A and B are shown apart, each in its own frame.
Chain A
Amino acid sequence: MTSRGLPPKQGLYDPHFERDACGIGFVASIKGRRSHDIIEKGLQVLINLTHRGACGCDPETGDGAGILLQIPHEFFRRECAKIGIELPEPGAYGVGMLFVPVEHPRRLRSEGIVEQIIREEGQAVLGWRDVPVDNSVLGFVAKASQPFITQVFIGRAPGLDQPEFERQLYIIRKRIEAMANSAGMEEARSLYVPSMSSITVVYKGLLIATQITRFYRDLSDPAVVSALALVHQRFSTNTFPTWELAHPYRYLAHNGEINTLRGNVNWMKARESVLASPLFGDDIRKLFPIVAAGGSDSANLDNAVELLVQTGRSLPHAMMMLIPEAWSGNPHMKPEKRAFYEYHASLMEPWDGPAAIAFTDGRLIGATLDRNGLRPARYLVTHDDLAVMASETGVLPIRPEEVRYKGRLQPGKMFLVDTQEGRIIDDKELKARMAARRPYTEWLREHQITLEALPEPPRVHPPDHETLVHRQRAFGYTAEDLKFIMAPMAARGEEPLGSMGTDTPLAVLSDKPQPLFNYFKQLFAQVTNPPVDHIREEMVMSLTSFIGNERNILAEEPKHCHLLKLPHPILTNRDLEKLRNLSRGDFLATTLPALFRANGSGRPMAEALEELCARASDAVRRGFSLIVLSDRGINDERAPIPSLLALSTVHHHLIRQCQRTQVALVAESGEPREVMHYALLIGYGASAINPYLAIETLTDVVNRGLLPPEITPEKAVRNYIKAVNKGLLKVFSKMGISTLQSYRGAQIFEAIGLNSALVERYFTGTPSRIEGVGLDEIASEARRRHEQAFRPLSQAETDLEAGGQYQWRRDGEYHLFNPDTITRLQQAARGNNAETFRQYSRLVDEQNERLCTLRGLLKFKSNGAAVPLEEVQPAAEIVKRFATGAMSFGSISREAHETLAIAMNRIGARSNTGEGGEEEERFLPDANGDSRRSSVKQVASGRFGVTSHYLVNADELQIKIAQGAKPGEGGQLPGHKVDETIARVRCSVPGVGLISPPPHHDIYSIEDLAQLIFDLKNVNPRARISVKLVAEVGVGTVAAGVAKAHADVVLISGHDGGTGASPLTSMKHSGAPWELGLAETQQVLVMNDLRGRIIVQVDGKLQTARDVVIAALLGAEEFGFATAPLVVSGCVMMRKCHLNTCPAGIATQDPVLRKKFAGKPEYLVNFFFLLAEEVRRLMAELGYRRFEEMVGRIDRLEMREAIEHWKARGLEFSSILYNPIVPQRCARRKVREQDHGLERALDNKLIEMARPALEGHGGVQIRMPIRNVHRTVGAMLGGEISRRYGSRGLPDGSIRCHFSGSGGQSFGAFAVNGMELTLEGDANDYVGKGISGGRLVIYPPRDSTFAPEENIIIGNTCLYGATGGEVYVNGKAGERFAVRNSGATAVVEGLGDHGCEYMTRGVVAVLGKTGRNFGAGMSGGIAFVLDEVGDFRRRRVNPAMVEVEPVAAGEDQELLRELIGKHLHYTRSPRADFLLRRWEQTLPSFVKVMPHEYRRVLASRIADFGLRISSEPSAKPAVAVAAPQSAFRNPQSALAKGAADG
């Protein structure tokens, strides 16, 4: 599939992985009054969203912008009249907006095709109008790719009504698209139809918002009127944006990402065979493919919406069907509404992913958010019936007194304007109406089948312990599988953890037979969409699925829900037998054997697969709706086909045969045993899995005594299934997917080491980039396993193979870090011994070359131009390119952390503080001249210790999007590792566990990343900003987005990175080797001409100079090392970091063990110099004098010939070694700086005006207006204060700023003591992000008329990672207020879902309604919530970690009252006033939210030590007092002081 307008697939670039995210908005007259004003306002919204879009290498070319409006009939009539077209009355003609080729003959031919199709469909061509454009405003990239833009006017055939006509226009457009995508039509390939309708018209293009009016001259004509305007500004990750992929599409504009797209598209394709609609009859075929090739995720979604709407569903109905609310995990949803969603879940899997969608059919206009609500959407309604919705507030200047109310879209909710009825239909009414359309509840009751309701099967396969070990061997079980994977799952119901990453070969390089599963890697979300926290935000997750024969989704009948509902996908033997014997209604099950005769060649396997497919097809034809693919019954002749292969083959075969939706596939297999296996089976189409051998093995695990005595075999099975299910949710959530139904068949994997013939046939659509093994090798691996099982065994070897994946074993898998290399490396570094280091390097390099890594298969291409070693730049220069990996103080001991920092500072390289802050005293040099300051400060999702002061003490700020060992996952530091010191630097409480969320809650998309980069750059303009990504297919595209988001450095990490703790499946099965990620990144950046403005760094088990030089030639300029420096410091790869028992004193906080730390900075200095000297030697051989000369010289690498290895010989590296063909001027390494646009920041002005205060000459007061384009106001000023005055800042109230208007994103971010920012108006997302001190006060304009407590005044994710300060908000906040708050005090009058999530310290008072899931993951601090309705405890709070209790008399009450008092004082809140006046009556309505762990720690600390927990900013010492409540006295005193100053 080639996406039109994008470059073809080349090297490692695949247009498939293009991503985008954006700003959306609409303006509508609720009463349907058409005016040009609406258009102007729409365009103005667009312009004010410009910063959400992006520019590429050419600053004048945007990623795309557009507007959808109603057909301006008067305008068209006038204009058409000028060119001799007479238009009939409105509605009787349609307007086709067309992009056609510029070259005249091709253009004519395209237009000819269009006319022909229109006529064939019985409509009239009224004429053509060239759309007047002014391309002088375009950037050169946009200009070069600009199509000719024309409109065709289509007359309605007599006798058609308007809906019928719309359907005809739909058919015409789909036919044009199909034609355009068919091969051989060169003209048609550049033919695109932005819109073709009798109601709406779309103007869009590769534009920046500001260009659109000037480009499309129509839009400024006063005669162009509309009652609604839908607009969109695009930010795509790279610079291959195209004219076509600009939004809006025909019905919608989208901000976000559909993660499950591959599955959705596959299922839509599979459904085509049964699609039928009386409205279309036979014409339905003309609509195929429903989902047009080459579209983006949004375009595909638009295609699906369009189908549903054109076949008779209303637009809101279609949206609810495609993007449902989280219904299955919400017990409080109205039963009728649940039934609606459950019924529709039987028809369609959710299109899942973060999405804010604005949609319109020309009459209704609205917006909806997905279940997670991860995209912002704010709206306001004016007294004169104007509705404005946009990604941000403040996009239109509207006088406060005109505002009737303001709001935000909540997760899963819809905001809908009916311009014909002239009113807003609220979510409740709308959905009640939908739920009442049909008796869904009844239909479900009558037709849905559940597993429990099925009759007991006559017999269940009994376990067979006689043959157990044989069968385990046949399926490739190892002793490690039992010990490391299954036993922990069975014991605890959780996935097992490990540490130090992986250093074993890829499956394709391993000499051991590998399960086919191991050739796949999980994909995960990074930047372009957020992973979900499946534990803390469980309510959105669902494992429920419906299996059976799916029907025509265009109809709506009771039969549609005649499906089997499964609560989760793992079947016990009894469950499976129930299914196997199923015969109810349309349900009939059959079992097909997935076995073959293993003789080592691929042939019998291919034949067996073919037969399996034929039998499956036959079964479908004969009416079976459930196929069990079974590998039971292996014997000495018949071996199991790898279960994934069998399943995926049948799945794709049935898709190709258009039979897929008529049958469900169930795997009955002895093979799957770990979470990855189940995820793969589901990802390739399995509805359910019966892992019979795993279940039997659990009994074995019990018998072997691997489990605690209290675990019975039954309990073990229950725990195991629970662990698998939890693990599956984790895998889904890593990709940001919430439901099993949308994960199924979504194929969110890449294959590494499978050849394309195999993938094309059996795993269609899976990326696989370096070729590899085929069916022969897979069969050969199967044969080896089979032999293992069925050859005669002596008693001495009746056990399982050792494995050696997780622990080094002599006969096990290879490890890069093994006894030989570890010892040599330590000896070389300690003794500064070049010879030993060379031996070490040789060992590693030889291992690499034999088996271990992709780089091992590369070699240097000599050009005979070696230079003398003396001429090569000195090692002291080279070591500056080295950095150590991010390892937090907390995960490793202080001794280890500081040793790394000292060493790196000594040699002018960089150490990385990791996520977890840094002790302030380390910012200053030591007496002996050493510095313990980490020059790279990490900003990760937990934001622990990320204060303004921390940020200004860095040379580089690294945003960790993902880490190699567990990309897409969060982390957790257990309470026992959080001692006094660690708690202090992390701004948390000793003994209280700390959770790092999976996503950065301020990065749900690429434009959010740009915003965070901007935030950090503001705080510390001197630091370079780096973004850490993990290699996976498509990472190059993300890296391009990162470059466009103005990062200075992008770090590509390999999948093998070390870690303190990670689930074993994540360590082994997600992410790709850095060689792939780096090469892809280099290629895409060069192709885009973006490489020159960003440094590329790489890490991931780099060990030797050869590794460094290969990485340099592939495009890296800087290099990170983590495992090797740890080994140099004494690490012996115990892999026990997660257990706190590191015997080398590194990954532990145990004081006894820490004493054993034997590392020294000298050793590290030795290591890096030894390494650099070896690099020099290689440079001399290759003929490079200076390092930068070799960066990106892919031409100096080649693949080693004569690779003998039976699996590796199939590999093919041309994609890695691909050198993009671009002119010389496109840089291949960094040559220029990013333009951060800091000079335009409002803070420059603030700093200027605050100079007297900054210089210590007393306080200043500043007043100025503010707009939404003023982003990150206050951060640079705060940084300036931190730099001058440290973490203490200035005296309270030194700098007072009063703003009026709408604050842009990140208002008041990283403010510090001494700042008081007052905003009269409203603000967008991220208010008070990372606030470290000072005060923010936000209230509505004094002359506004709405009730503040009912109106949204600040956006989502406010106070994220706050460490101090006070915030008063006279109005409601969005989702995730005070997320990860660790010290701020805040008062707000209502908030959305997930309030106070992951909070660890601080105080929050909510004087109004809260959303759901309050206090999820909250481990410290307290919150007071006004619970007027009385449903907080029952419906709003997440009770997992917190208790809800009355506000105790005494200090609690005093504190609350005082907070409200301050709130009144600063904001003049009527609500505060009301509450205080009626204090005695309202007090009982308040509840206090108290984390369990926090209470326990407070109590025990008071009991044990008489200590109190400081609620003050971190630096202050703790003071002993008596009672627990007094822990919260400090905020009060801070407030009291603030009041006095105020």
Chain B
Amino acid sequence: MGKLTGFLEYEREAPGYRPVEERIRDYFEIDLGLPEDRLRRQGARCMDCGVPFCHTGCPLGNVIPDWNDLVYRRRWREALQALHSTNNFPEFTGRICPAPCEPACVLGLTADPVTIRSIEKAIIDRGFEEGWIKPEPPVTRTGKSVAVVGSGPAGLAVAQQLNRAGHLVTLFERADRLGGLLRYGIPDFKLEKRCVDRRLEQMAEEGIRFEANVTAGRDVSVAELLRFDAVCLAGGATRPRDLLVPGRQLEGIHFAMDFLRQQNRRIAGDLIPAEEEIVATGKRVVILGGGDTGADCLGTAIRQGAREVHQFELLPMPPRQRTELMPWPTYPTILRTSSAHEEGGVRRWSVNTRAFSGENGQVTRLQAVEVEFGPPDSRGVCPMTEIPGTEFEQEADLVLLALGFLHPEHDPLLSGLGVKLDGRGNAAVDQSHMTSVPGVFAAGDMERGQSLVVWAIAGGRRAAHHIDKHLMGRTFLPQ
């Protein structure tokens, strides 16, 4: 419950980042964290609401008031337990979650909300520091086996939950290292990979079998997969959205993920063949797409020493504050400035890219125009129109497409299994996360479409609940 009058006594204090000058010279995490006494004060601001909206704001249903209070009372170990009771991987969400809990915080009605995410991160970091996080192998084994495909946040959550329920879990990952998006999609300056490694170590010691470099549906056949008592597909939504405009075929235009993955591998010590290299060093970089991935590209490009960086977003610049249309406690679409934006680069909104052009097959510029959107039509779609006379050109040596993802890759696994798809190309599932193939479940972006890590973990946990129920007839795993 924090301190009864804490919210009246203390202001919100976010932990802040390392200075820009310093941080852009390395790839280490930029989050600073707060010293214990100041963090406790932040915990003290929690009002222990009768209806904690933060707790619904969080897809995982994190029991935020409980651990806020425990931190305030210095009960770190119990806080860790409370945190783990709804979230397998707080070290991930504590770093990269956009924290929809915070706009839902009741204190946000009239003041700044509690800095929930920093508290979460502090708890889990402390847990690792103190050595409190130990393998928790199941007491008994059920004799059932489960295959999980994909080692991103959803797959890891499914695996850990089901293993703890006593099932023998084998996790297949087509990449050379485990972690999926966590490993290769998120820059180290936001999530150092040691965080992923130590969690994987714990899981391995708990008894989960990891099979990297295995593409399910090819290296392990569909028939082999189906010999498991249950299968959970958690391969993510990895098919990127492309921008099919003239000049797209030019060199120097890449999907954001390819760019980011390479940098992560480089940091991990891999040697990237020169012909494959995508680097921003000394280049004029244009990032298309104003979302988080775009921001990740921006931070990476700056660290690589780009000459200049531009980021274009199709949609108009959002308001700086909540409007009537996005009242508390919804997650508002407001202007967000991520850490990367502090580091440099130029942002533009309402920009539609019409074409790329280049020399010698290498992109050198792009042609764009400003757009505006009308009021929503009968289908709720706001029609876009170009604003005559606003056409402009932007020089670019490297263009990164951070336009989001369409849906999962269908081959070879989904098609091989014959899993039915939904209208958006995702694996269609019923209420219990089961696909059209009996015994085959899906979780995370693979069934939900691209989303947040926190949703992936939540989806994985929920799928695990249903898989356990499917296997055992009943389950004690939380939804």
Q: What is the interface of chain A, defined by CB distance below 8 A to chain B?
A: 479, 500, 704-705, 787, 791-797, 799, 802, 806-811, 815, 817-820, 822-823, 826-827, 830-831, 1130, 1132-1136, 1139, 1141, 1143-1144, 1150, 1152-1153, 1156, 1158
Contact = CB atoms under 8 A, between A and B. Distances in A.
B106 interface: yes
A1408 to B, nearest CB: 49
B164 interface: yes
Interface of B: 4-5, 7-8, 47-53, 55-56, 61, 63, 65-66, 73-75, 78, 81-82, 84-85, 104, 106-107, 109-110, 136, 138-140, 164-166, 324, 327-330, 476, 478-479
B464 to A, nearest CB: 12
A1156 B110 CA distance: 7
A792 B140 contact: yes
Contacts of B81: 796, 799
A807 B51 contact: yes
A811 B479 contact: yes
Contacts of A1133: 49-51
B51 A831 contact: no
Contact of A1143 (B74, B84, B106): B106
Given A705-B75, A791-B476, A819-B51, A1143 B110 contact: yes
Please list the 4 inter-chain residue pairs (A to B) with the smallest Cβ-Cβ separation, ordered nearest first.
A1135-B50, A810-B61, A792-B139, A819-B56
A807 B8 contact: no
A794 B136 contact: yes
21 contacts: A479-B66, A500-B50, A705-B73, A792-B138, A792-B139, A796-B81, A807-B50, A809-B52, A809-B55, A810-B61, A819-B53, A823-B329, A827-B327, A1132-B109, A1134-B47, A1141-B7, A1141-B47, A1143-B7, A1143-B107, A1143-B109, A1152-B8
Contact of B84 (A500, A796, A1132): A796
A797 B85 contact: yes
Contacts of B51: 807-808, 815, 817-819, 822, 1132-1135
B47 A1136 contact: yes
Contacts of A823: 53, 327-330
A1133 B52 CA distance: 9
Contacts of B4: 1139, 1141
A1156 B65 CA distance: 22
B139 A1132 contact: no
Nearest to B134: A795
Given A807-B65, A820-B56, A1143-B110, 5 more contacts: A793-B139, A819-B53, A822-B51, A1133-B50, A1134-B106
Contacts of A793: 139
B478 to A, nearest CB: 6
Nearest to A826: B327
Task: Select the residue from B50, B82, B104, B140 with max chain A CB neighbours within 10 A.
Answer: B50
Nearest to B477: A797
B109 A1144 contact: yes
A41 B78 CA distance: 78
A831 B324 contact: yes
A1304 B328 CA distance: 60
Contacts of B56: 810, 818-820
A1153 B330 CA distance: 23
Contacts of A795: 136
Nearest to B328: A823
A599 to B, nearest CB: 15
Contacts of B63: 802, 809
A840 to B, nearest CB: 14
Contacts of B61: 810-811
A799 B81 CA distance: 8
Q: Could you tell me the dominant secondary structure of chain A's interface residues?
A: loop
A1132 B164 contact: no
Contacts of B136: 794-796
Contacts of A1158: 109-110
Task: Select the residue from B48, B107, B138 with max chain A CB neighbours within 10 A.
Answer: B48
Contacts of A1135: 49-51
Nearest to A1155: B110
Contacts of B5: 1141
A1134 B48 CA distance: 8
A793 B478 CA distance: 13
Task: Select the residue from B7, B51, B52, B328 with max chain A CB neighbours within 10 A.
Answer: B51
A1139 B330 CA distance: 27
A53 to B, nearest CB: 48
A636 B101 CA distance: 40
A692 B459 CA distance: 42
A1265 B230 CA distance: 96
A746 to B, nearest CB: 34
B52 A808 contact: yes
Task: Select the residue from A802, A815, A818 with max chain B CB neighbours within 10 A.
Answer: A802
Given A819-B56, A827-B327, A808 B50 contact: yes
B45 to A, nearest CB: 11
B90 to A, nearest CB: 12
A1135 B51 CA distance: 8
B85 A796 contact: yes
B102 to A, nearest CB: 15
Contacts of A810: 55-56, 61
A809 B327 CA distance: 22
A1167 to B, nearest CB: 16
A1133 B109 CA distance: 13
A1026 B60 CA distance: 49
Contacts of B84: 796
A1185 to B, nearest CB: 36
B478 A811 contact: yes
Contacts of A787: 476
A1132 B55 CA distance: 14
Task: Select the residue from A819, A823, A830, A1153 with max chain B CB neighbours within 10 A.
Answer: A819
Contacts of B106: 1132, 1134, 1143
B101 to A, nearest CB: 12
B52 A807 contact: yes
Task: Select the residue from A794, A797, A826, A1143 with max chain B CB neighbours within 10 A.
Answer: A794
A515 B63 CA distance: 24
A794 B138 contact: yes
B49 A807 contact: yes
A823 B328 CA distance: 8
Contacts of A1139: 4
Contacts of A1153: 8
Nearest to B135: A795
A802 B329 CA distance: 23
A504 to B, nearest CB: 12
A1141 B55 CA distance: 20
Nearest to A1150: B8
Contacts of B329: 819, 823
Contacts of B330: 823
Given A808-B51, A811-B478, A1134-B47, A704 B75 contact: yes
A792 B109 CA distance: 43
A1132 B104 CA distance: 12
Task: Select the residue from A500, A808, A1139 with max chain B CB neighbours within 10 A.
Answer: A808
A794 B139 contact: yes
Contacts of A811: 61, 478-479
A838 B56 CA distance: 22
Contacts of B78: 704
A830 B328 CA distance: 12
B378 to A, nearest CB: 15
B475 to A, nearest CB: 11
A500 B50 CA distance: 9
